[in-house]
Each structure stands twice: as structure tokens, then as C-alpha cells.
Amino acid sequence: MAYSAKVMDHFENPRNLGKMENADGVGEVGNAKCGDIMKIYLKIEDGIIADVKFNTFGCASAIATSSMATEMIKGQKVEDALKLSNKAVVEALDGLPPAKIHCSVLAEQAVKAALADYYTKNGIELDPEIFGGSCGGHCDSCESCGIEG
């Protein structure tokens, strides 16, 4: 198994790494038992993602997908950020090994969870079509540990 040069670049030099005080939206998905947790912080101004930070516990591809996802949504309109798909993250990273695709799913879910938090804080109803069930994608591909959260 080898990572693309882009994955290694984002792993070695993660973009938007860090925490954020007074974030407008915070989303955390995954669980430690499965080996991946992503936390995304959003600063939203006039419907635009003005700033984004992430913290991740996980493998190199978990760090790289978090980094890429944050880069892809920074400066985007909230509605456009919602459309971010895991597939787009994988493509932007020049691919991921098959066993690591779940990291990109987690990255997409982390962005959605942060946006859901933003909507909830602002009294905007969540569209179940976009935000899915209550699980929010925790441990999406992890059959070994059952669903938590």
C-alpha cells in the first residue's frame, strides 16, 4: 500500500490544522475504537466559510483527507460546502488505497456535522435529505465496533 504524493504532502504539511475559539459550527465524527476521529471547526461570515480548522486522530489518510476537505470548503458558500462529496476529496488527493476510502467518507461527514451544528445554533431546520440519519456517519465502514454516538 502506498500513498500518492498529494496524500503525503497533506499528511506532512496539513492545511488548516488547529482548534478555533468561538467557532460558529463544530462537528466531530468517528470514534477512537475504530481508530479515526475528525473534528472540524467553522467560522462563517455572510453565508461563507471564512475560516476552517481541523483536529484529527487517525492514520495518514485520515489526516490528509481532513486537510484536503478543509481546503476545499474554505471560502465556499455554506450551500456549496454541503455538496462536498468524499469522492471529490479522493480525487483531489489523486486517489486513496481501497482500505482508506472510509477516511474520505469521514471527512465528508465531519464537514456536514460542523455545518449541521451551525444550522442548529442558528435555528435553521436540518434537511434530512442532506444530513441523513441521526448517526451522522459515525464509523460508517466500521463493522467491528458497532455504532456509537
Partner 1 sequence: MKTVYADNAATTALCDEALEVMVECLRDNYGNASSMHHSGQAAAEVVAQAREDIAKCIGADANEIYFTSGGTESDNWAITNAARLGAKKGKKHIISTTFEHHAVLHTLMKLEKEGFEVTYLDVHEDGYVRVDELEKAIKEETCLVTIMYANNEIGTVQPVEEIGRICKEKGIYFHTDAVQAVGHLPIDVKAQNIDMLSFSAHKFHGPKGIGALYCRKGLPLIGFMQGGAQERNKRPGTTNTPAIAATAAALKKSCAEMDKNIHYVSAMRDRLIDEIVKIIPRTRVNGGRSPRLPGNVSFCFEGIEGESLLLYLDLKGICGSSGSACTSGSLDPSHVLLALGLPHEIAHGSLRLSLSEYNTNDEIDYIIEQLPLVVARLRDMSPVWEKLMKGEN
By annotation, the residues acting in catalysis are 34, 103
Q: Is 20 in the site for partner 1 (CB under 8 A)?
A: no
Q: Is 36 in the site for partner 1 (CB under 8 A)?
A: yes
C-alpha grid cell, residue 41: 471547526
> DSSP letter at 85?
-
Instruction: Please choose, out of 43-51, 88-96, 116-124, 137-145, the segment that lies near partner 1 by the rule CB under 8 A.
Output: 137-145
Binding residue for partner 1, selected from 48, 59, 88, 92, defined by CB under 8 A: 59
Cβ partners under 8 Å of residue 31, min gap 6 = 37, 138, 139, 145, 148, 149
Of 16, 96, 9, nearest to 50 by C-alpha is 16
Shortest distance in whole angstroms from residue 33 CB to partner 1: 4
C-alpha grid cell, residue 111: 464537514
Tell me the per-residue interface mask from 97 to 116 with partner 1, x by CB under 8 A, - otherwise.
--xx----------------
Instruction: Please choose, out of 60-68, 74-82, 84-92, 118-126, the segment that lies near partner 1 by the rule CB under 8 A.
Output: 60-68
**For 13, how many CA atoms within 13 A lie in the half-sphere containing its CB?**
4
Do residues 65 and 107 touch, judged by C-beta distance below 8 A? yes
Of 109, 14, 113, 110, nearest to 61 by C-alpha is 14
Q: Is 57 in the site for partner 1 (CB under 8 A)?
A: yes
Q: Which positions lie near partner 1, rule CB under 8 A? A: 1, 11-12, 14, 17-19, 28, 32-39, 55-63, 99-100, 142-145
